[in-house]
Chain A
Amino acid sequence: MVFSSLIFVFVFLPLAILLYYISPKILRNFVLFVVSLIFYAWGEPVYIVIMIFSTLFDYVNGVLIDKYRSHKSITKTIFINSIIINLGILGFFKYYGFVVDNINTIFNLNIHVETLPLPIGISFYTFQTMSYVIDVYLGKVPAQRNIISFGTYVTMFPQLVAGPIVKYSDIDKQLQDRKVTLDRFGEGMELFIRGLALKVLLANNIGLLWTSVKTTSMSELTILTAWLGIIAFAFQIYFDFRGYSAMAQGLGKMFGFDFPENFNYPYISKSVTEFWRRWHISLGSWFREYVYIPLGGNRAGLLKQLRNLFIVWFLTGLWHGASWNFVVWGLYFGLFVTLEKLFLLKWLNNRMRVIAHVYTLIIVLIGWVFFEFDNLSVAISYIGIMFGFNQSAFLDNNTLYYLTTNFMLFCILAICSTPFPQKALIYIREKLKLPGAICIPIFYVILVVLSTAYLVNDTYNPFLYFRF
């Protein structure tokens, strides 16, 4: 079940909230746990077993590490065992086919494997349970002895399928005690509806343009169409993901949790480094905290730092999918982050801001080409078209058609990529006082009404007698 569906918004959500709010405080974790299991089982009636196993396994590991705290070697064994099993499960489901394919290519073999479909959310919840075991091992947090509380943390449906990746230390206290008030519920609703609108009204809509460009044969693309296409994709993936994260945060708030921000207007960044501080923040900070810093970070000399950067960006890429193009995409960003650390950032700081913005956007857009095409040579010829290496025309009728029919949408998307709309809403609300406090909610009602129209339309499926 995805958040942006009729069944979630108009059936699951009202029922879950009703159940949660009428339950006494002491039962609320349990209610949330059960509701989350139902949510997951809805999409993965079989693979739910894996999630439950992960939960139980790391619950036990946490308790054992705590119990044998004084025996270094025992805790270390438990810890390493836990990491191996967690990564093993993730690796098996996500990277098994990929690894076998590569072995086949390298050794010219023909091993055939049946790859299993990827369990929903496994990349996210594995990282969450791992963060817990690591933090307990390092003594940063006490072990959670209540299985319900721990289960709630791992399976909590708001962030289960697409993040943000909530570190155990972020919500340790909230699991025991959290405030559920009407005000916070309102904040949660605001975030949820905003996220829904971003996903349904913006991301899905501009996605149509990208689909259309992507399916055009390369020989028919013009320079401008190629740019429009990848810009459309950049907007699509951003609003899709940001929308989803906002919905998760909003849902979290309705149940009394505060999740960390996942996006902070990445497209207004003035460097690639800044972009990654603003894009998928919870993933970046996870890799920083659990990979980069444990490897020594930047404290062990330049050479080691470069190695660490390489590892982190390699893994960041690979995390996004079991295919080399994601690795290339990760390393590509790693390269620019490294260059910026070495000298580029200094250089950019002494230039006009617009240059830094344009530089960042171009690097990011080219990055999306690597992200979207799993075939590297296709990606490279697409980039070739963007920069006029393929003798493509600059524009044609198709380009103009895309441009005119999506012009308004592009304007809206560009504006919504900046903090401006959010600031404007707050400004109006505060300026108008009481009328503002009543009118802005109406704006949100309009958003949810429009989103509903698009959600219903997604299922519009006329049966036509085209054969008559």
Chain B
Amino acid sequence: MNQYEKIYKRTLACMLSLFIGGMFSINILTSNKLFSDSENRNLEQLPKFSIQNLLEKQYTPSYEKYISDQFAFRDFWISMKSDIDRTIGKKENNGVYIGKSGFLLQKFNKPEDQDVKSKIEAINVFHLANPNVQQHIMLVPTAISILENKLPNYVSQVNEVTYIDKVKKSLNKEINFIDVYPILSSKKNEYIYYKTDHHWTTKGAYYAYLELSKNMKFTPNPIESFNIKNITNSFYGSLYSKAGFRHIDPDSIEIYEPMEAIKYKVEYVDEDKTSRSLYEMNNIKKKDKYTVFFNGNHPLVKITTENTNGKKLLVVKDSYANALLPFLLSHFSEIHIIDLRYYNDNLNMFIQKNKIDQMLLLYNANTFFEDSSITDLSE
């Protein structure tokens, strides 16, 4: 062994021990964190030891989770990993593609045929049970279908639009299917989907509102009648968290305030709260800024406006509706908003009791095909 080899081995021994020993010490010295902002969850704490825990193989997995959750500079390591992945050409992580110009696009998972069938069945049954209500349904394609040109090269994804069309064809002909694919697709060069979140932007929702107006036969408010307000430029949405990719530009959120404001009252029925605004502006400081619309999701929300046309609308929906609903205020006297994922009462009774005359079922394709609560309609 020559002297350089000796130096080499010793340097190696020292440097690596220093790194491992260093991380070991830092991990001991840094105090435990309770919550991770970037992962939006509580972090594992030191588990309590007991012989029973140990023998049931519960102690050691919790302990390992504790070590990894409390590992020093956790966020730094995660961003480093995603940087390496991008450098060597990887284009997806956790079911999210990193597309062109910093767009994150969520994969569409192929739904089970049986599930699709039972959802269609539920909607049709519900329609038959409520013949006096004029029914509309809008299934919004997600960014992956509209912004196909933003996908990484050669991605061949399960075609979301064919599934939407399948639903359209199988629905009772008296149910009005509102197809927003053409209008959204024609506007794909505008900022209609967030880059880092799975929602559409307020602008995207506005275009859908135009399409909705044709179907529901009311005159939409032109874009000039709104005061478009940018409320944040630092929105990192759900896809950003899910994918773990870093060094991506944040989104901005706009709200469209009508210049001729009408008065209304928002009642969060289950929470026993009322509000004079559709927006919860404090949420702009939170991580999940999309919740400025309606402060997130609620089982049942009732909006009463000063409009005297007497039209009563029921919207059964997911979070995509939250950005669209504000446009509807000037066209209805009452809007009832139900989220089936949290609402447990009978819908037929609700419709009779509140004398609903129009109903809109609004989902993005992802929620529609993945969430099973839609079948609750027919119960």
Which A residues lie at the B interface, using CB under 8 A?
1, 5-7, 9-11, 13-14, 42-43, 45-46, 182-183, 185-187, 189-190, 193, 396-398, 400-401, 404-409, 412, 429-430, 433-434, 436-438, 440-442, 444-445, 448-450, 452-468
Contacts and interface: CB of A to CB of B under 8 A. Distances in A.
A120 B94 CA distance: 30
A440 B4 CA distance: 12
A462 B241 contact: yes
B153 A14 contact: no
Nearest to B23: A10
Say what secondary structure dominates the interface of chain B.
Answer: helix
A297 to B, nearest CB: 39
A316 B71 CA distance: 41
A444 B16 contact: yes
Contact of A43 (B60, B67, B242): B60
A189 B16 contact: yes
Nearest to B290: A468
Contacts of B68: 6-7, 455-456, 458-459
4 closest cross-chain pairs (CB), A and B: A186-B9, A186-B13, A456-B77, A397-B156
B156 A437 contact: no
A241 B81 CA distance: 23
Q: Give the residue among B4, B6, B21 with the most A Cβ atoms within 10 A.
A: B4
Given A429-B8, A464-B40, A464-B241, A401 B153 contact: yes
B9 A187 contact: yes
Say what secondary structure dominates the interface of chain A.
Answer: helix
Contact of A456 (B6, B40, B54, B78): B78
Interface string B176-215: 0000000000000000000000100000000000000000
30 contacts: A14-B21, A45-B54, A182-B9, A186-B11, A187-B9, A189-B12, A398-B154, A401-B152, A404-B89, A409-B88, A430-B4, A437-B4, A438-B8, A438-B11, A444-B15, A448-B20, A450-B84, A452-B23, A452-B77, A453-B78, A454-B81, A454-B84, A457-B81, A459-B71, A460-B39, A462-B39, A462-B244, A465-B238, A465-B288, A468-B296
A377 B91 CA distance: 33
A42 B60 contact: yes
A438 B4 CA distance: 9
A433 B7 CA distance: 10
Given A434-B4, A468-B288, 4 more contacts: A449-B19, A450-B80, A462-B244, A464-B242
Given A14-B20, A429-B4, A444 B12 contact: yes
Nearest to A442: B15
A307 B26 CA distance: 60
A187 B341 CA distance: 59
Contacts of A185: 13
B96 to A, nearest CB: 11
B8 A441 contact: yes
A5 B60 CA distance: 13
Nearest to A220: B156
Interface residues of B, number: 66
Given A14-B20, A460-B244, A464-B238, A405 B12 contact: no
Interface string B71-86: 1001001101110100
Contacts of B198: 466
B54 A401 contact: no
Contacts of B261: none
Contact of B13 (A10, A189, A406, A452): A189
Contacts of B9: 182-183, 186-187, 190
Contact of A437 (B7, B24, B65, B77): B7
Interface string B342-362: 000000000000000000000
Interface string B44-73: 000000000011010010011101110100
B27 interface: yes
